Amino acid sequence: MRKPFLRPLAAVLLLPVAMLTGCGGDSKDGSSGGGAGGNTVKVGILHSLSGTMSISEVTVKNSELMAIDEINAKGGVLGKKIQPVVEDGASDWPTFAQKAQKLIKKDKVATVFGGWTSASRKAMLPVFERNKALLWYPVQYEGLESSPYIFYTGATTNQQIVPALDYLKEKGKKRIYLVGSDYVFPRTANKIIKAYAKANGMTIVGEEYTPLGHTEYSTLVNKIGTAKPDAVFNTLNGDSNVAFFKQFKSAGFDAAKLPVMSVSIAEEEVKGIGVANVQGQLVAWNYYETTPGAVNDAFVKAFQAKYKGAVTSDPMEAGYNAVHLWAAAVQKAGTTDVAAVKKAAAGISLDTPEGKVTIDGENQHVYKTARIGVIQPDGLIKEVWSSGKPIKPDPYLKTYPWATGLS
Q: Per CB under 8 A, does 1 bind other proteins?
A: yes
CA-wise closest residue to 195 among 221, 176, 215: 176
Question: DSSP string covering 104-158, please?
Answer: HHTS--S-EEE--SHHHHHHHHHHHHHHT--EEE-S--------TTEEE-S--GG
Instruction: Write the interaction track for other proteins spanning residues 262-291; mark x where CB under 8 A is met and - where it is not.
Output: ------------------------------
Cβ nearer to other proteins, comparing 77 with 123? 123
CA-wise closest residue to 117 among 30, 213, 219: 213
CA-wise closest residue to 145 among 196, 154, 46: 154
The letter for the amino acid at 173 is K
Q: How far is the CB of 407 from other proteins (least distance, A)?
A: 7
Cβ nearer to other proteins, comparing 98 with 290? 98
Q: How far is the CB of 241 from other proteins (least distance, A)?
A: 17
Residue 331: Cβ within 10 Å count: 13
Q: Which of residues 113-132 bind other proteins (CB under 8 A)?
A: 117-119, 122-123, 125-127, 130-131
Contact stretch for other proteins (CB under 8 A) within 112-120, 331-339, 347-355, 360-368: 112-120
Site residue total, other proteins (CB under 8 A): 63
DSSP H or E run through 55: helix 54-73
Residue 209: Cβ within 10 Å count: 18
Cβ nearer to other proteins, comparing 186 with 353? 186
Q: Per CB under 8 A, does 88 bind other proteins?
A: yes
Q: What share of the chain is helix, strand, coil (3-state, %, to 5)?
A: 45, 20, 40
Cβ-contact 181, 235 below 8 angstroms: yes
Among 11, 73, 256, 294, binds other proteins (CB under 8 A): 11
Cβ nearer to other proteins, comparing 21 with 39? 21
Q: Per CB under 8 A, does 219 bind other proteins?
A: no
Q: Give the Cα separation of 90 and 46 in Å (integer).
A: 9
- Site residues, other proteins (CB under 8 A): 1-13, 15-20, 22-23, 26-27, 30, 49-50, 86-88, 90-94, 97-99, 101-102, 105-106, 117-119, 122-123, 125-127, 130-131, 142, 144, 182-184, 187-188, 191, 209, 211-212, 407
